Amino acid sequence: MPFPLANGAVGIGLKHRHAEALLAEPQPVDFLELHAENYMGAGGPVKERLHAIARAYPLSVHGVGMSLGGAERPDASHLARLVGLVEELNPALVSEHLAWSRLDDDFYNDLLPVPLTEESLALVARNVDIVQQALGRRLLIENPSLYVRLEMNTLDEADFLTELVARTGCGLLLDINNAYISAHNLGRDLDAYLAALPGHAVGEFHLAGHSLDTAASPPLRIDDHGGPVCDDVWALYARLARQHPAVPTLIEWDTRVPSLDRWVEEAERARAERSLPVATAVGE
């Protein structure tokens, strides 16, 4: 059985630079999240250290390269390595992005947007089914951060995700920062978007910092995971965490990575935000 997560658990990402400190003494975090692709081929001391961490903390495995939104079926070799890692670590959660990153034999180092159409929905549902059957467990699908609206779209993103959950039984990884960024960049009604998502399917929250590109016209919010969570996203989180008190929360910080103590401070704030009075909704 997976190492269980407590209701309302709060975790941080696993970075090599913090591994020794995480093992030296217990840290006040409830779980650690690792990027699957960083450990699929790991061996020797790296694998030994990962096993030690897995004995000390519950884990979440977050994939970034399965290309679920592509027209092709998941790469068999990539999927086999993910399955092996999940079987080895037995994490509490496994998640992937609503994105594509592969075409034929070309792999792109980016999470590219999925067309929101009936045809695309059928392909994503097929790919999610393939991955879930291989894993033997539910997969959480993360909502994307978007910068442009595709003219070919015929479905709203929330409707697309709702139908994906209905067809596959997958869960949702609700990245609140991504939702906030996309609403700003696309002029989307954020409250309506959040209300339209299937709340029963939310299995994890992600929180992260972002930057503002003022050189763009109009300015764009960029999902760089390079700083603390902004106040507007904290306000959204406080509201959503009250609605879903058992859902675990992961604080991401992937560029300009801070000290372990500073990252833990963000996790402590997530715990505090759950218990604070909920402020007026963003945009109201």
pLDDT digits (tens, 9 = 90+) for 161-201: 999 999 999 999 999 999 999 999 999 999 999 999 999 99
Asked whether residue 283 is domain-assigned, the answer is no
Asked whether residue 230 is domain-assigned, the answer is yes
Could you give the number of structural domains in the chain? 1
Give the span between the Cα atoms of 96 and 57, in whole angstroms.
21
Predicted confidence at residue 51, as pLDDT, reads: 94
Q: Is the pLDDT of residue 83 over 90?
A: yes
Q: Domain of 133: which CATH number?
A: 3.20.20.150
User: What 8-state DSSP symbol labels residue 206?
Assistant: E
Asked whether residue 5 is domain-assigned, the answer is no
Which burial class, exposed, middle or buried, applies to 257 when counting CB atoms under 10 A from its CB (0-12, 13-18, 19+)? middle
Domain of residue 39, residue span? 10-275
**pTM tops 0.75:** yes
pLDDT digits (tens, 9 = 90+) for 34-50: 999 999 886 788 899 99
- Average pLDDT for 112-123: 93
Asked whether residue 217 is domain-assigned, the answer is yes
Asked whether residue 3 is domain-assigned, the answer is no
- Average pLDDT for 138-144: 97
Q: Is the pLDDT of residue 31 over 70?
A: yes
pLDDT grade for 107, boundaries at 50, 70 and 90: low
The answer to whether residues 139 and 130 touch, using CB atoms and an 8 Å cutoff, is no
- Average pLDDT for 138-160: 93
